[in-house]
Structure 1
């Protein structure tokens, strides 16, 4: 299973963090899909929305889905914080997290636009968590997520 966890981290780093463009033909109407494959594994991140959004990531081993995560993110205070700033903070924070060869666990990252804080429980096999951006100790963005292994 170490190969699966390594692939998940690599796929996350290469797709959204790496600036990979969405597929021209999404799997569902109005979805934004970003795909990655390497060796026996295939990854798809499919989401809807912009500032407030909902999505799902799935990894297949061959044709079998083996891991998935769903998420819902939103700007909590649109009067003082926006999606563009959130994206800047998140990309830099997650790039730093993935460089540690992980995507779960406690993590904090200080950025000039706000502090990124992630709390989760579990490991890639079964987890749930929340990421937030704080400005002056007040949450202005939040994303809730959960996921784990898929078994037949």
Structure 2
């Protein structure tokens, strides 16, 4: 089994905060590799981070980290706002709240957001199992009254 590079978690935290969590889709590069996708990137030698996803209300994506031009880590994810949510203001509020939660990503679990984040009547929960080399999790957003708003499933790890 490959060993986890000592600085990979710190790089992931920096990359996530400097792409979607910090900049929303403004971090999207102009010419994505896949037509119709959004592609966010961050580089800090020797690493390069790339997040490519499709969709908005329901979306599917993949994050990769390369070291010296070789992909060493990846995470795939899919999810989004509940299908019955059609009000644009509610939709935008959910994703604004999600970005705030994702800014709380930490080196101990650098996958999505923190285990728990509450703000403005919404509650973000992140249930993750495993370690940086192999993990899976589910993140949810509910109203304080437990009405479900959003769910995303993710998994990934070191490539070998």
TM-score normalised over the length of structure 2: 0.85
Q: Which residue of 2 aligns with 1:145?
A: 154
Please list the CA deviations of residues 25-76 of structure 1 after superposition, one character each: whole Å capped at 9, or x if unmatched.
0010101000111011001000001111100000000111100000001212
Secondary structure of the corresponding residue to residue 53 of structure 1: strand
Q: Which residue of 1 aligns with 2:32?
A: 26
Q: Which residue of 2 aligns with 1:78?
A: 85
Q: Return structure 1 stretches of 4+ with deviation > 2 angstroms.
A: 79-83, 100-106
1:133 to 128, 141, 144: 141
Q: Which residue of 2 aligns with 1:90?
A: 98
Q: Which residue of 2 aligns with 1:11?
A: 15
User: Size of the alignment, in residue pairs?
Assistant: 150
Distance 1:113 1:88 in 2: 13
Moved more, 15-24 or 57-66: 15-24
Structure 1 pair 87/103, CA: closer, same or farther in 2 (3 Å)? Answer: same
Distance 2:141 2:100 in 1: 12
Matches within 5 A, 1:98-109: 98=106, 102-104=109-111, 107-109=115-117
RMSD: 2.0
Q: Is the 8 A contact 2:62 2:77 kept in 1?
A: yes
Distance 1:148 1:28 in 2: 23
TM-score normalised over the length of structure 1: 0.90
Structure 1 residue runs of 5 or longer lacking an equivalent are none
